[in-house]
Amino acid sequence: MPASLVVWILTALLIVGVLTQRWWEPRLEARGVPVRRWPWRWWLVGYPGTALRIVTTWRRLAYLNGLSVSKHPTSRVIGRDLVVQGQALKPKPPRLSWPVPTATGLTLRVLLHPGQTPAPFYAAARAMEHTWRVHSVRVTSPRRGQVVIDVTAADPLAGEVPSVRGPAHALLAADVGRYEDGAPWLIDLRRVPHWLVTGATQSGKSSLLAALVLALAPQKVALVGVDCKGGMELGLFGGRLSALAVDRTEAVGLLSRVADEIQARMRWCRTWGKRSVWELHDEQRPVPLVVIVDELAELYFHDGSRESRDEAEQCGTLLVRIAQLGAALGVHLVIAGQRVGSDIGPRVTALRAQLGGRVAHRVHDEASAEMTLGDINADAVITAQNITEDEQGVAVVATGGRWMRARSRPVSTAEAAEIGRSDPPVNPFLTQSDPVTFEKGGVAA
């Protein structure tokens, strides 16, 4: 489509939107109609204005950031070995597609000139944000010869995420908030078995754990907690937890029991000739088990005595074993802490390497963000450092090398009390107090 036609269409939409906002909106507001909450403001005012700014500034933006090529060669040879390189007199920017609107911004597709690579476009993303006056720009290259530019017009994570009950999800999938592109933030423990959640005090770690418990509570999933702060956080969920350890001595016992459960599930799978519990039939499969640890550092700090050091080392060993062996056996880890580095205690880095899902809330220093996201992406570390104190619950979520900002939804005291009154699954452990007989056809408890 010709650029001039695009400009005319966008200008017409913008004029209609401005007139509507100035004349029609006040009349409806006077009648009590909450039109300011309607999405039409973006579609008729925000989108045309942003798209028009993109189309009209694209040529100069491409020229200043080295994205254009010359229509004619600009180099000439003087003598035998001297080449003089000049500026392009007729710069030709890459072809820009029609700006396609989305719920939170718009999407553009750029066709690269022969010889161009996506690297200069990645570097120019910050310049695009300032030129187009938008919240963020993300550049990707899903196909050879093309670059896709995703523009987020305004911060979609501003304000709290509504606490609503959505549709039921698959087993071990929890809807805990929303991503910056408006999509639901789904923590799927079947796809990413173990998660690490970090952040400073009052950054939103406990809110995320509460949202996770709220989403998993209706499912047939056993939840066990380790909260060495006296159970002040996880203790709110009371009866829904199959077990709760409130100090390190209890944590050693609970984690030892989880490790024994893993061994029992190994024998159970071997009895049926399966490599994981997910290959078993529903009536044969043991209940999935999610271990939630709040404030990991409390498990490693010791007073210098031999007994205290031994407990801390035992906790570290048990957590690593659970992370290494639990995924195929339906045992999952969600670990939260302010810092998760080698300075806390032994085997922490080995544990962190096993936690594929990473969530970094607001941090006080670069090292804390680096511990969580440094092996994923350097840009994610910078983004985590830019989270402010006013953005409680906002975090950078990274899985499989990809990352995105997200915000967890708050859990009210009434919702926490409702969770606490619910009952956990019956006999979630194969390793009950009484001997367990492994016989084909069922598990005797």
Q: Binding site for ATP, residues?
A: 199-206
**Residue 184 · residue 175 · CB < 8 Å:** yes
In the three-class reduction of DSSP (H, G, I as helix; E, B as strand; rest coil), residue 404 is classed as strand
Q: Which amino acid is at 360?
A: A
331-337 vs 289-294, strand pairing mode: parallel
| Distances, alpha carbon 402 to alpha carbons 32, 195, 355, 359, in Å | 44, 15, 15, 12
Tokens encoding 216: 């998993």
**Residue 220 · residue 289 · CB < 8 Å:** no
Which residues make up each annotated binding site?
A: 199-206
DSSP E strand stretches across 253-392: 289-294, 331-337, 357-360
Tokens encoding 291: 């271990």
- Distance between CA atoms of residues 170 and 185, nearest Å: 14
In the three-class reduction of DSSP (H, G, I as helix; E, B as strand; rest coil), residue 397 is classed as strand
| Distances, alpha carbon 6 to alpha carbons 2, 51, 97, 178, in Å | 7, 9, 10, 33
- Distance between CA atoms of residues 153 and 349, nearest Å: 38
**Residue 53 · residue 133 · CB < 8 Å:** yes
Contacts 24+ apart (CB under 8 A), 424-427: 424/222, 424/223, 424/239, 424/240, 424/241, 424/242, 425/220, 425/221, 425/222, 425/242, 425/287, 427/287
Q: What are phi and psi of 162, to 5 degrees?
A: -55, 135
DSSP character string of 102-170: -SSEEEEEEEPPTT--SHHHHHTHHHHHHHHT-SEEEEE--STTEEEEEEE-S-TTSSPPP-------S
- Distance between CA atoms of residues 29 and 35, nearest Å: 7
Tokens encoding 443: 């598990």
In the three-class reduction of DSSP (H, G, I as helix; E, B as strand; rest coil), residue 306 is classed as helix
